Amino acid sequence: MTFEDLKQVIAGALPNCDVANVTPEAMLVPEVCADSLDTVELSMAIEEKLGVNMPDDLMATFTTAGDLFAYLKAHA
């Protein structure tokens, strides 16, 4: 899996997100996800598209998109 793969999942789950601004350094909230509801949507999309189990409280532990990517890479 690449960071571009994650960006595609983000684009599909969060159509209002400007995916061009999603970088490893981007803060998940508010730069990638507008709010906690978006993080839930993204978590569900990750489970569906990438097959990685995302417990409900896990998304709150990631600060940046890079943190999320590192977790996904390690658990994919």
| Residues 9-57: tens digit of each pLDDT | 999 999 999 999 999 999 999 999 989 899 999 999 999 999 999 987 8
Q: Number of helices (H) and strands (E) in the chain: give both, helices first.
A: 3, 0
Q: What is the pTM of this model?
A: 0.92
Q: Quick one: tokens of 43?
A: 């978590």
Beta-carbon count within 10 A of 53 CB: 10
| Cβ pair 42, 10 in contact under 8 A | yes
DSSP 27: B
